């Protein structure tokens, strides 16, 4: 079958290619042939991760990196969950002496920092890295080395933070580290320095993955997958990634300004010398509010991917949901002052942010109504992923509505910085992100591992988790109204807060049991189940289900051409696959941004050790700069060297690419 | 510490306005939640069940789609209208908060420290001003205008039964206007994480009839009572000559430092250490000896004194009504 | 890597981690209660500090010099107890400068403690009996940090206040600040 559209060739490199020799002529193997053919074997070999320790450190396949992100994120979440459990235990009784104030301060700071920076955002990015290329019909993300480097930065940042915590140097000023408490005079010791360092790591990591995903989505989609035909999860990932690019640099800037205050003696946040303590709050929350949407919007993408499959029909209001996602992303940048309503900012200005906070409910409501419409008009498959989606509806709505309450300036003046906020944030994060995350795990687990998780254990997990979350966090609304502030390590018996705190602790134990069941389900399935899942166990419509479970190393033996939103559901079009890409170098096809017309051949970089080395060198720089002022400058030399070696052109690769250039 | 500490038990106009707003928003949100869940429940109930192999429905169904579209549009329209109504409710509540008449207000200067509250009444009037700490008395029915400043880190004053909170930010000055319309003891607490003992930085507001308030403030303005017994005299001598006087002030004695709560009338307060311990003779002696036991991380150092000396100091301080 | 190389690397790694652990624990410990009994003042104990007290102080100050919380407490007390009244913020005034390398009576931990506890001629009050022992150690540790003699990691950085001097963590004993007080203090020129 000939490809009806000719592929335009790449512009020739300026360097003159060396003269062809007889030994150059080797057989060019192309993709597009069937799974068992010689070309297919070669294709798999080309896309395989290299073996051994060096191979492990230099892997840059999107599935490898995505999986690493998700697994590491869950480990961090487990650790932070234990901290949360300790806090609940401490607060379960009045005047408890389980932990002292200093350790408790570190506990809640670590819990928040780990969950927000080391779990919630990376796990969503990890899912995006794994699923998006499969869903858009390509073989890897656009900048795989950058995502690989991002993973190592993430790992090192997390290890350093926990290393600090293990040596009594964990941050102790809350997950948002307000100055002056985290500043040079009152932030005693090196604890806040490690927090600033983690934020730098986190921002760099998030930004790198965001740039990678944005480019992948815009340029590497299958021919025919116009923006209107793109699945909703891909839209959610695109919106999130663009938001990250705008918001993350600001928190790194802010954290570095605090670090300059702490290490170099600058006065950015010193009111006596012209600075302002409130400046930090603005800088942080301008990032901090979009941050929760980095966690929420991909979860909305999960829900939009799961509902059509389990309602056996395309999503109702697809375009409306796309517009809602974009609007939510946009509006989320205009809400940040609602975290600062108790300060002495002008009242009229604050009211503007009330209006914006209310306004953002509308696109979210639009999505919820479209989803319910899809369910109402569908035929329902009641399996675990769908159960978690239903749980998401319940818990997210409560969280969203308490969010409306918190968005009102006067009402916020009563409930700000109380357990009402703790209840709200856990409802929106657990309901709005973790429930869809579990749904996505159960949904895509067979695709990733080739085995189905147990349905029965999944149902138990769902019900225990649902009951546990409600039991743990609903009483906290009441506690906030009864006057219990946040971040207190204990309270007196005369406050009357003990009963509800105890109930909450019981709920948290139920949560733990549910999570344990999930862990058992995972381990049992991965290590002890023999039955393999088919390519499409759920009967879904998007492209990732067209390949085997788990996917071949090259994802697709021939890149697909699509013409509808659910390619596996719609009847096949005349032209179905792209032919002619190399099976011997890692090649893909770029397409135009809006209409996905074939554009150029794209040679993906081969696995290299430099992303790992670069991440290591950045670690050297950041750690050095915590201890020494000249380290800020001298420590830049290792990263400079590492990046130089990374970008150094590879002659062998260039020759291979030129060889493939003119091929049809 | 015993005191009303509840958003849902308003004792003044500010808290009352917020209580009404809370009720309005609660009703609205519960209705929206119930409606949405009901629609979802009905959808789940009525939709037929299927399996993974059921063929997906790709047909057009124009009438059904039109009905769904209409429902969604109505849902969005309804939600928007409700949000606008709530927005106006919020705005008007905000205006109500700032419309508290402030004629004849009691002026208080409140400075937030780690981990206590320093209060100066009538700071602009040299003949009427006095200093106290951690416990405020206010006259029922008269507004109180509190000027808020922070000495070290960000704190936040919050007395839920009387009104919303306001942050105390170093380098910035804010004000909070409250009024208690009912006599009683109202508890407040620091509501912005400020360090080790953020948990035990309570503020008590005692609202009393105007006559009682005048009596209280006149007593606060007076210098410290002279010691009456030998034990109290010994206690005063110890307080003046040892580490107490390095940080505390007792007007009328040689203790004049301003780094810690003013003790001139400490026995008139129900609690010590910003709500950490009750102000009884035994607990007072224990607090003096080892404040860190009750409030680890507080700036008050332990005092290694003989039990007799501690009892004497406690007796003297207990006489400072 | 040969087995011996690997062993050596392992030992170095373990030593490095242990070193980091102890250094961090020393620096970051928050001892709200003084670590030694007898560290508080007995009321009316206005006798000059004994040799035992000086020896204990030298040990404790040596420890506090590596503890961020202690030095920070010393800094707070320096302001609270109005040491700035005579010593300014380290630059000296009617009292000698504290951030230079000139020590009239000696700059080691025990001597600095003795100076604060017993006072000195020409105006330095005696604070023993008025300031608790533990706070005297914290103050001594802070005074030494002004001259750069405490651990730079544990020393505080800039104040959240008007800029009055280079932060303590920048103080370098090898490059001391030289301050010439305007008023004669009787010290040898």
Q: Which run of H or of E encompasses A503?
A: helix A498-523
* pLDDT at A388 (0 to 100): 97
Give the β-pairing of B143-150 and B116-121: unpaired
What is the per-residue pLDDT across B218-231, written as a single tens digit (0 to 9) for each?
999 999 999 999 99
Q: Are A294 and A541 in contact (CB under 8 A)?
A: no
- Partner-chain residue, chosen from B247, B297, B304, that has the shortest CB–CB distance to C42: B304
Q: Of A47-51, A205-209, A514-518, B233-237, which range is least confident?
A: A47-51
Please, what is the average pLDDT of chain C? Answer: 83
Which residues is B18 bridged to in the sheet? none
Question: What pLDDT does residue A35 have?
Answer: 62
Closest to B216 (Cα-Cα) out of B302, B316, B135, B289: B135
What is the pLDDT, as a whole number, of residue C184? Answer: 43
Query: Mind telling me how many Å the CA of B230 is from chain A's nearest CA?
Result: 36
| φ and ψ of B113, to 5 deg | -120, 170
Classify the C-alpha dihedral A233-A239-A240-A242 as positive or negative.
Answer: positive
Q: Cβ distance B280 to B269 under 8 Å? A: no
pLDDT of residue A17: 46
Q: What confidence tier does B277 reach under pLDDT thresholds 50, 70, 90?
A: very high
Report pLDDT for A322. 97
pLDDT-derived band at A628 (thresholds 50, 70, 90) equals: confident
Find residue A157's DSSP bridge partners. Answer: none
* CB-CB under 8 Å, B154 with A494: no
Contact call for B242 and C130, based on CB within 8 A: yes
Q: Is A357 in contact with A402 (CB distance < 8 Å)? A: no
In the sheet where B184-190 sits, what is the strand order?
Answer: B135-139, B202-208, B184-190, B155-158, B166-168
CA–CA distance, A38 with B165 (Å, rounded to integer): 72
> Which pLDDT score, from 0 to 100, does residue A573 have?
56
Nearest-neighbour CA in chain B from C4: distance (Å): 48
DSSP A40-90: HHHHHHHHSPPPHHHHHHH---HHHHHHHHHHHHHHHHHHHHHHHHHHHHH
| Residue-wise pLDDT tens digits, A543-596 | 999 999 899 999 999 899 998 899 889 866 556 888 888 888 899 999 999 999
Q: Where are the domains of chain A?
A: 64-528, 610-653
B47, B76, B83 member nearest A378 (Cβ): B47
Cα A181 from Cα A166, distance rounded (Å): 22
Split at pLDDT 50, 70, 90, the class of C19 is confident
Q: Number of CB pairs < 8 Å for A and C? A: 72
> Mean per-residue pLDDT for A599-620?
92
How many DSSP H helices and E strands does chain A contain?
Answer: 22, 2
Q: Which are the contacts of A200, defined by CB distance < 8 A and separation ≥ 6?
A: A157, A252, A255, A256, A622
Say which DSSP state A577 is in: B
| Residue C43: predicted pLDDT | 40
Over residues A181-198, the pLDDT tens digits come to 999 999 999 999 999 999
Residue B204 to residues A524, B116, B158, B294, B314: CA-CA distances in angstroms? 57, 11, 10, 18, 22
The residue ranges of every structural domain in chain C are 1-30, 33-170
Q: Does C80 touch chain B (CB under 8 A)?
A: yes
Poorest-pLDDT segment among A222-236, A647-661, B271-285, C133-147: A647-661
DSSP assignment of B61-107? -HHHHHHHHHHHHHHHHHHHHHHHHHHHHHHHHHHHHHT---TTPEE
Domains for chain B: give ranges and CATH numbers.
1-40+75-221 (2.60.40.420), 230-318 (2.60.40.420)
pLDDT at A7: 52
Q: According to the model, what pLDDT value does residue C178 have?
A: 62
In this predicted model, what pLDDT tens digit does every residue of A318-374 receive, in sequence order?
A: 999 999 999 999 999 999 999 999 999 999 999 999 999 999 999 999 999 999 999
Rg (CA), chain B: 28
* Chain C residues in contact with B151 (beta carbon < 8 A): none
Distances (CA, A) of A469 to A429, A433, A516, C43, C182: 11, 13, 14, 55, 69
pLDDT of residue A5: 45
Counting DSSP H helices and E strands in chain C, the numbers are 6, 0
Looking at the structure, give the CATH architecture of the domain made up of residues A64-528: Up-down Bundle (1.20)
Asked whether the beta carbons of residue A188 and residue C156 sit closer than 8 angstroms, the reply is yes
Mean pLDDT to the nearest integer, B54-58: 89
Confidence of residue C1 (pLDDT cuts 50, 70, 90): low
When CB atoms are compared, the residue of A174, A186, A488 closest to B199 is A488
The rounded mean pLDDT for chain A is: 92
| pLDDT for A15 beyond 60 | no
Put simply, the answer to whether A411 touches B72 (Cβ < 8 Å) is no
Chain B hits for C39, CB-CB cut-off 8 Å, are 304
Confidence (pLDDT) at A576: 83
Beta-carbon neighbour count of residue B76 at 10 Å?
Answer: 17
Closest CA to B315 of B256, B234, B222, B224: B234
- Whole-angstrom Cα distance, residue A109 to residue A115? 10
pLDDT (0 to 100) of residue C9: 81
Q: What is the pLDDT of residues B101-120, one digit of tens each?
A: 999 999 999 999 999 999 99
* Nearest CA-CA distance, residue C186 and chain A, Å: 35
- Could you report the predicted ipTM of this complex, rounded to two decimals? 0.96
Please tell me the predicted confidence (pLDDT) of residue A3: 41
- Best of C43, C78, C79, C80 to disrupt the B interface (most B CBs within 10 Å) is C43
* Chain A residue with the nearest C-alpha to that of B296: A101
Residues B294, B199 contacting (CB under 8 angstroms): no
* Angstroms from A78 CA to nearest CA on chain B: 26
Chain B residue at shortest CA distance from C73? B299
Over residues A435-470, the pLDDT tens digits come to 999 999 999 999 999 999 999 999 999 999 999 999
Cβ separation A184–C159 shorter than 8 A: yes
Q: Searching chain B, which residue's CA lies closest to the CA of residue A365?
A: B76
Alpha-carbon distance of A532 to A589, in angstroms, equals: 31
Domain C33-170: assigned CATH number: 1.10.760.10
Minimum CA–CA partner of B15 in chain A: A414
**Residue found under tokens 């950015």:** A268
- Mean pLDDT of the region B232-236: 96
- E-strand stretches of chain B: 106-113, 116-121, 130-133, 135-139, 143-150, 155-158, 166-168, 174-179, 184-190, 202-208, 271-272, 277-278
Is residue B139 over pLDDT 70?
yes
Instruction: Compute the CA torsion angle A344, A349, A352, A356 (nearest 10 deg).
Output: -60
Residue with the two structure tokens 């005579």: C86
Q: Answer yes or no: are the C-beta atoms of C166 and C89 closer than 8 Å.
A: no
Here the tokens at position A500 are 């509800």
- Among A135-144, A166-175, C13-22, name the one with the lowest average pLDDT: C13-22
Look at strands B277-278 and B271-272 and give their pairing: antiparallel
Q: Does C130 touch chain B (CB under 8 A)?
A: yes
Residues of B in contact with C40 (CB under 8 A): 301-305
Question: Which H or E element spans position B234?
Answer: helix B230-241
pLDDT > 70: percent of chain A: 94
Residues listed for chain B: 321
For the record, the structure tokens of B312 come out as: 């004497």
Which chain B residues touch A184 with a CB distance below 8 Å? none
Candidates C145, B110, B192; CA nearest to A181 is B192
CA nearest to A259, candidates A586, A647, A650, A623? A623
| % of chain A exceeding 90 in pLDDT | 82
The whole-chain average pLDDT of chain B stands at 94
Counting one residue from chain A and one from chain B, the pairs whose CB atoms sit within 8 A come to: 268
Q: Per the structure block, which two tokens stand in for B223?
A: 């210098």
| Chain A residues close to C158, C-beta within 8 Å | 184-185, 261, 265, 267, 270
**Between A589 and A14, the higher pLDDT residue:** A589
Q: A313-327, A561-575, B50-64, B75-89: lowest mean pLDDT where?
A: A561-575
Name the β-bridge partners of B138: B207
Query: For the segment A412-429, what is each residue's pLDDT rounded down to a tens digit?
Result: 999 999 999 999 999 999
Asked if the Cβ–Cβ distance from A178 to B193 is below 8 Å, we say yes
pLDDT at C44: 39
Tell me the three state secondary structure of residue B245: helix
Given this model, what pLDDT does residue A206 score? 96
Q: What is the pTM (predicted TM-score) of this model?
A: 0.93
User: B203 has which bridge partners?
Assistant: B188
Instruction: Give buried/exposed letters for A538-548 (b at 16+ CB in 10 A, else e).
Output: bbbbbbbbbbe
pLDDT at C177: 65
Mind listing the pLDDT tens digit for each residue in A70-89? 999 999 999 999 999 999 99
Q: Print burial letters for A360-395: b (CB count within 10 Å at least 16), e (below 16).
A: bbbbbbbbbbbbbbbbbbbbbbebbbbbbbbbbbbb
Among A343, A390, A539, beta carbon nearest to B52: A539
CA closest to C29 among chain A residues: A168
């Amino acid at each position: 079958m000939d490809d009806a559209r000719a592929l335009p060739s790449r512009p020739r490199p300026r360097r003159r290619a060396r003269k062809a020799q007889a030994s150059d002529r080797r057989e060019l193997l192309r993709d597009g042939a069937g799974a068992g053919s010689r070309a297919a074997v070669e294709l798999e070999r080309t896309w395989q991760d290299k073996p051994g320790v060096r191979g492990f450190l230099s892997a840059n396949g999107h599935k490898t990196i995505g999986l690493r992100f998700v697994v590491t994120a869950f480990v961090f979440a487990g650790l932070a969950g234990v901290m949360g459990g300790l806090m609940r235990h401490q607060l379960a009784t009045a005047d408890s002496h389980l932990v002292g104030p200093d350790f408790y301060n570190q506990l809640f700071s670590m819990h928040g920092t780990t969950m927000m920076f080391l779990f919630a955002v990376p796990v969503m990015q990890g899912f995006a890295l794994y699923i998006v290329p499969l869903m858009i019909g390509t073989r890897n993300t656009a900048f795989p080395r950058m995502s690989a480097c991002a993973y190592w930065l993430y790992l090192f940042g997390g290890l350093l933070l926990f290393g600090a915590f293990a040596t009594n140097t964990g941050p102790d000023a809350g997950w948002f580290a307000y100055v002056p408490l985290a500043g040079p005079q009152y932030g005693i010791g090196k604890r806040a320095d490690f927090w600033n360092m983690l934020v730098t790591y986190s921002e760099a990591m998030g930004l790198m993955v965001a740039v990678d995903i944005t480019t992948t989505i815009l340029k590497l989609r299958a021919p025919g997958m116009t923006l209107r035909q793109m699945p909703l999860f891909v839209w959610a990932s695109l919106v999130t990634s663009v938001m990250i690019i705008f918001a993350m640099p600001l928190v790194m800037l802010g954290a570095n300004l605090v670090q300059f205050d702490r290490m170099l003696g600058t006065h950015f946040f010193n009111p006596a010398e012209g600075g302002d303590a409130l400046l930090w709050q603005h800088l942080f929350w301008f990032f901090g509010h979009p941050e929760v949407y980095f966690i929420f919007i991909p979860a909305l993408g999960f829900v939009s991917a799961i509902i059509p499959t389990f309602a056996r029909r395309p999503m109702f209001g697809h375009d409306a949901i796309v517009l809602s996602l974009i609007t939510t992303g946009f509006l989320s940048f205009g809400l940040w002052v609602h975290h600062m309503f108790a300060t002495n900012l002008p009242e009229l200005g604050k009211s503007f942010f009330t209006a914006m906070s209310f306004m953002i409910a509308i696109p979210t409501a639009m999505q919820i109504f479209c989803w319910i419409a899809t369910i109402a008009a569908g035929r329902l498959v009641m399996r675990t992923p769908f159960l978690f989606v239903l749980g998401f509806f319940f818990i997210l709505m409560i969280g969203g509505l308490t969010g409306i309450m918190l968005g009102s300036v006067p009402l916020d003046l009563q409930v700000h910085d109380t357990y009402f906020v703790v209840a709200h944030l856990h409802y929106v994060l657990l309901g709005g992100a973790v429930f869809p995350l579990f749904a996505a795990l159960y949904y895509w687990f067979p695709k990733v591992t080739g085995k189905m998780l147990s349905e029965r254990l999944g149902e138990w997990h769902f019900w225990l988790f649902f009951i546990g979350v409600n039991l743990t966090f609903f009483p906290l609304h009441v506690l906030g109204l009864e006057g219990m502030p946040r971040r207190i390590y204990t309270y007196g018996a005369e406050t009357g807060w003990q009963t509800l705190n105890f109930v909450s602790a019981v709920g948290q134990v139920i949560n733990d049991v549910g999570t344990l069941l999930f862990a058992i389900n995972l381990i049992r399935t991965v290590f002890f189940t023999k039955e393999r899942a088919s390519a499409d166990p759920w009967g879904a419509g998007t492209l990732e289900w067209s390949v085997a479970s788990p996917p071949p190393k090259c994802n697709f033996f021939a890149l697909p051409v699509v013409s509808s939103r659910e390619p596996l559901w719609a009847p096949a079009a005349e032209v179905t696959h792209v032919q002619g890409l190399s099976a011997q170098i890692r090649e893909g096809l770029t397409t135009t941004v809006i209409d996905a017309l074939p554009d150029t051949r794209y040679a993906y970089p081969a696995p290299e050790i430099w992303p790992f080395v670069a991440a290591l060198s950045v670690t050297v720089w950041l750690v050095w700069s915590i201890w020494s002022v000249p380290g800020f400058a001298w420590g830049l030399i290792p990263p400079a060297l590492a990046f130089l070696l990374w970008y150094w052109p590879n002659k062998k690769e260039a020759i291979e690419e030129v060889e493939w250039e003119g091929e049809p | 510490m015993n005191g009303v500490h509840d958003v849902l038990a308003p004792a003044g106009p500010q808290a009352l306005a917020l209580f009404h707003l809370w009720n309005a928003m609660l009703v609205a949100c519960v209705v929206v939640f119930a409606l949405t869940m009901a629609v979802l429940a009905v959808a789940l109930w009525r939709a037929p069940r299927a399996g993974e192999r059921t063929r997906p429905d790709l047909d057009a169904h124009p009438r059904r789609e039109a009905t769904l579209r209409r429902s969604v549009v109505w849902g969005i329209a309804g939600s928007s209208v409700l949000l606008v109504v709530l927005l106006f409710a919020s705005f008007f509540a905000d205006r109500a908060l700032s419309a508290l008449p402030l004629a004849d207000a009691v002026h208080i200067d409140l400075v937030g420290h780690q981990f206590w509250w320093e209060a100066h009444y009538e700071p602009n009037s040299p003949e009427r001003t006095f200093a106290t700490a951690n416990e405020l008395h206010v006259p029922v029915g008269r507004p109180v205008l509190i000027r808020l400043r922070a000495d070290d880190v960000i704190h936040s004053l919050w007395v839920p039964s009387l009104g919303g909170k306001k942050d105390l930010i170093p380098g910035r000055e804010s004000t909070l206007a409250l009024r208690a319309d009912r006599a009683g003891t109202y508890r407040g607490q620091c509501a912005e994480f400020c360090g080790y003992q953020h948990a035990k930085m309570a503020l008590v507001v005692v609202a009393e009839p105007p006559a009682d308030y005048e009596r209280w403030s006149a007593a606060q303005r007076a210098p410290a009572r002279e010691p009456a017994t030998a034990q109290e005299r010994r206690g005063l001598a110890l307080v003046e000559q040892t580490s107490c006087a390095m940080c505390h002030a007792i007007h009328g004695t040689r203790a004049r430092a301003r780094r810690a709560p003013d003790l001139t009338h400490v026995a008139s307060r129900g609690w010590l250490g910003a709500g950490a311990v009750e102000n009884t003779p035994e607990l007072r002696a224990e607090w003096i000896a080892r404040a860190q036991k009750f409030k680890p991380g507080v700036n008050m150092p332990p005092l290694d004194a003989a039990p007799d000396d501690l009892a004497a100091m406690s007796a003297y301080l207990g006489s400072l009504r | 890597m040969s087995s011996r190389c690997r062993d050596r690397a392992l030992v170095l790694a373990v030593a490095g981690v242990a070193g980091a652990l102890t250094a961090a624990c020393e620096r970051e410990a928050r001892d709200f209660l003084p670590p030694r009994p007898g560290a508080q003042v007995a009321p009316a104990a206005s006798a000059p500090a004994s040799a035992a007290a000086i020896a204990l102080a030298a040990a404790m100050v040596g420890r506090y010099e590596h503890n961020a919380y202690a030095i920070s407490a010393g800094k707070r007390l320096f302001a609270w107890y109005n040491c700035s009244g005579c010593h300014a913020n380290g630059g000296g005034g009617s009292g000698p400068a504290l951030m230079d390398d000139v020590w009239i009576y000696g700059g080691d931990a025990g001597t600095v403690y003795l100076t604060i506890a017993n006072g000195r001629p020409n105006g330095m009050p005696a604070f023993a009996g008025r300031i608790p022992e533990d706070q005297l150690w914290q103050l001594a540790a802070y005074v030494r940090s002004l001259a750069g003699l405490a651990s730079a990691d544990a020393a505080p950085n800039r104040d959240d206040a008007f800029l009055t001097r280079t932060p303590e963590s920048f103080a370098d004993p090898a490059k001391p600040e030289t301050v010439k007080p305007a008023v004669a203090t009787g010290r040898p020129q």
